[in-house]
Amino acid sequence: MNKLFFRLLVVLMSLSLIGIILVQVYWFNTSFKNNDEQFKFHVKSVIGNVAEKLQKQEEYTYYEKFNRYKDSTGKIPKKNDLLEFYYVHKNHKNNTTVVYTNSISSQDFNMSSSFFDKKSDGVIFKSYNSKRVTEVYDNNRFDNSKVHSNLSPNLKIEKSGDLSALDNVAYEINYKEIASVMPLQERVSKEMIQKLLKKELEEYGVNTKFEFGVFSSSLATKIKSSGFVFNANNTYSIPIFSDNEGNNKYQLLVSFPNKKKFLLTDLIGITLLSIIFTLIIIIAYSSALNQLIRQRHISEIKSDFINNMTHEFKTPIATINLALDAIKNPKIIGNEEMVLKYIQMIKDENKRMHAQVENVLRISKLEKKELDISKETVNIQEVIEDAIEHVNLILEDRQGSISKHFKADRTNVLLNEVHFINVIVNILENAIKYSPNIPKIDIFTENIKEYLIIKIKDNGIGMSKMAQKRVFEKFYREHTGDLHDVKGHGLGLAYVKKIIEDHNGQIYVESEKGKGSTFIIKIPLIN
Ligand code: ADP
């Protein structure tokens, strides 16, 4: 795939993924805001209703008292005519005149001072009555008659009754005057507000905890629930008990401590679903991307590896070629000693190539799980000794040394001796290979719980954090800078890790650039 196209694809996919996430965040935000608005609307209606009911209830209690008083006094109220209203309509079509009269009279009730409150004086209450009369006359008779009062109508309809609307207005004005001077505790109780709010909120489906308080000129009164705390974000207010002039001394404040939670529970299901789907997309996308990058990386590494191998085969092949040419030379072919020398040379080069091929084959066999790894109980310290024997020659060549610090008491482990020797040899060879100065290697063993720990420490070039994470990957090789002649294929540690894992063990490396590395192997003991 074209590199540029690949990058473009990655950028586009990442952008659309970010876009999807942003859209989700936007959707969530607007839904939350909408819910908040709806909540506000519901709560405003609720507290509006509660304020109205409080006023009505107070009014009603007074009204009840007043009516009882009116009925029980037995006093004949003073009657006053207040207003007389006439309306005359002449209808020529059916030759009639309609006279409509409405006379409004009022009755005064003098209330004793004890009725409302000891502090106020007696109050006069008015009750209004209306008498409505409709009379229909013959036009001829009506026009001819001089004195209408003597005339008897053709039809007369009389209606009378309380003028409750007027009564109410007059009553409301009076009661408000009186109630406004009463202490708040006598006008309303905590329980009453609690009950009203609860009922109304339930009706509107606002099923979350609420607290309330009545405030007078921004100061809290005693009428409030125990947990009330003012918080501008979740508190709503409404004036209550307005007086005749429309002034409000009191405010009812209602707060919802769990408002956010309540609003969120509505969205939680769908939000969770969208988060899950987005996560699935992110995971799928990143693993696909990861896979793609890995594939590219592996194909790069493979071509590197092939180049490397070819290069390494070239030298022995050339050497063998030269040796064969030399043997063919008539001067040499008769010289048995020289021929043997060249044959040895060919054999050595052949051996090198064989070892190379063997190395590659081993790891690929391991990949396909074709390697038969049979295990038996072995003393691991003996295995380490054997491995040290294997590297002794190259170590001597570099004048290096290995110090053993065997502290483990229990050393029996179930393992495959041949592979395990290879493992230790690989690590020791690396320790020598990647030490530019005289190699000094320390090998420690110890028991931690049910494990045997082997630490192999060198004084070599060390490695970067990045390399520490990746040295166990197939074909990974760090650029070794000044160590140009160090050869390898990046397969050794991949093999080591595979074998250790096959033994239910773990391997990791601690290292610092320039200060050497320590490879740590952890392998389970047998009881
Ligand atoms: P190879 O040695 O053939 O390159 P390995 O798998 O054995 O492959 O090692 C992988 C890489 O890990 C090496 O190329 C080297 O960069 C790094 N490495 C391994 N052992 C050491 C060590 N003891 N000190 C520093 N670097 C090391």
Structure tokens at 212: 């309330």
Is the pTM for the entire model greater than 0.75?
no
pLDDT, residue 428, reads 94
Higher pLDDT, 489 or 38: 38
For 215-242, what is each residue's pLDDT tens digit? 887 787 888 888 888 888 888 888 888 7
Give the number of other CB atoms < 10 A from CB of residue 507: 20
Find residue 83's DSSP bridge partners: 104
pLDDT, residue 207, reads 86
Give the number of other CB atoms < 10 A from CB of residue 387: 23
434 lines ligand 1 (CB under 6 A): yes
Higher pLDDT, 148 or 263: 263
Tell the burial category of 435 from Cβ atoms under 10 Å away from its Cβ (0-12, 13-18, 19+).
Answer: buried
- For ligand 1, mutation pick of 471, 478, 498 (most atoms within 8 Å of CB): 471
472 lines ligand 1 (CB under 6 A): no
Of all protein residues, whose CA lies closest to atom 3 belonging to ligand 1? Answer: 488
Atom of ligand 1 nearest to the CA of 493: 6
CB 254 within 8 A of CB 61: no
Q: Longest C-alpha distance within the chain, in Å? A: 177
Residue 61 has pLDDT above 90, yes or no: no
pLDDT, residue 494, reads 87
Structure tokens at 48: 């509006």
CB 440 within 8 A of CB 458: yes
Residue 420 has pLDDT above 60, yes or no: yes
Mean confidence (pLDDT) of the chain: 83
Ligand 1 centre from 349 Cα, in Å?
24
77 lines ligand 1 (CB under 6 A): no
- For ligand 1, mutation pick of 301, 358, 466, 477 (most atoms within 8 Å of CB): 477
Ligand 1 centre from 304 Cα, in Å?
16
Ligand 1 centre from 501 Cα, in Å?
19
pLDDT winner (highest mean) among 267-271, 312-316, 323-327 = 323-327
CB 98 within 8 A of CB 108: no
> What does the DSSP assignment read for 69-111?
HHHHH-PPPEEEEEEEEEEEEEETTTTEEEEEEEEEEEEEEEE
Distance between CA 400 and CA 510 in Å, rounded? Answer: 21
Residue 119 has pLDDT above 80, yes or no: no
Atom of ligand 1 nearest to the CA of 488: 3
Ligand 1 centre from 477 Cα, in Å?
6
**Do strands 219-224 and 376-379 pair parallel, antiparallel, or not at all (unpaired)?**
unpaired
Ligand 1 centre from 427 Cα, in Å?
9
Q: Please compute, for residue 19, the number of CA atoms within 13 A of its CA located in the half-sphere on the CB side.
A: 6
For residues 28-65, one letter each, b for 16 or more C-beta atoms within 10 angstroms of the residue's C-beta and e for the rest, the string is beeebeebeeebeebbeebbebbbebbbeebbeebbee
- Sign of CA pseudo-dihedral 287, 289, 295, 297: negative
Indicate the pLDDT class of residue 115, thresholds 50, 70 and 90.
low
pLDDT, residue 292, reads 86
Give the number of other CB atoms < 10 A from CB of residue 423: 28
pLDDT winner (highest mean) among 53-57, 89-93, 430-434 = 430-434
Indicate the pLDDT class of residue 125, thresholds 50, 70 and 90.
low
**Residue length of the chain:** 527
pLDDT, residue 118, reads 47
Residue 109's φ and ψ, nearest 5 degrees, are: -120, 125
Above pLDDT 90, what percent of the chain? 29
475 lines ligand 1 (CB under 6 A): no
For 162-190, what is each residue's pLDDT tens digit? 666 666 676 677 667 667 767 777 778 88
Distance between CA 109 and CA 291 in Å, rounded? Answer: 95
